[in-house]
Structure 1
Amino acid sequence: MPTKPTIARIWRGRTRPDVADEYERYIRAEGIPPLEKTALGVQLFREDRDEEIWFTTISYWADMEAMTSFTKGEPTKVHHLDRDPEFLIALPERIEIHQILVDEQSLG
């Protein structure tokens, strides 16, 4: 039986519209693959607003221990990608850690 996640780790960052497509390619190539290899699941969201583009990454973990093993220490510490300062309007200062209380999906 597959392990169900109990923890969601949420990161959010904002870019200017003129670099959003390039940042999306960059985060897909550099930020998502390590999560795909270690987390139980990962989602990447994009919200296009008038003045800025928001990206949100949610990764799902079996427990805090699994997530802490991935982050090699404090799970709430932000681990910026090398080119984040180039693309992001401001470097995010925190990661959100949420306990998953309900995990039901009806997609069909």
Structure 2
Amino acid sequence: MPTNPSIARIWRGRTRRDIADSYEQYLRAEGIPPLEKTALGVQLLREDLDEETWFTTISYWSDMQAMTAFTKAEPTKVHHLDRDPELLIELPQRVEIHRVLVDRYGMR
């Protein structure tokens, strides 16, 4: 029986618009696969603005223990990818941890 997520971990970072496609490929290759193997689910979102592009990664977890086991440390600590310092406008200082209150998909 599938486990419903009770925790969402949200990371946000921004890059220059001219390298956004490269950063997206990098995230898809390096950032998303470990989450796909461990989290209950993962989403990668992209918002293109005039000068910069924001990326948001949301991973879903059964509980804090599962998320802490994945991060191998404090779950609110940001774990930067190797190339983040060169590709991001600034390194994010935090991730958000939210309790999942409603978990429904689809249109009615």
TM band (smaller chain): over 0.9
Q: Aligned equivalents of 2:73 and 2:16: distance in 1?
A: 31
Aligned residues: 108
Gaps (5+ residues) in structure 1?
none
Q: Write out per-residue CA displacement over residues 5-62 of structure 1, whole angstroms, 9 at most, x where no aligned residue.
A: 0000000000001110000000000000000000000000000001110000000000
Give me the CA root mean square deviation: 0.9
Gaps (5+ residues) in structure 2?
none
Q: Aligned equivalents of 2:51 and 2:18: distance in 1?
A: 10
1:107 Cα deviation from its structure 2 partner: 4.2
1:3 counterpart = 2:7: no
Q: Aligned equivalents of 1:11 and 1:76: distance in 2?
A: 10
1:18 counterpart = 2:29: no
Give the SS at the match of 1:45: strand
2:97 is aligned to 97
Q: Aligned equivalents of 1:104 and 1:81: distance in 2?
A: 31
Counting aligned pairs with the same residue, the percent is: 77
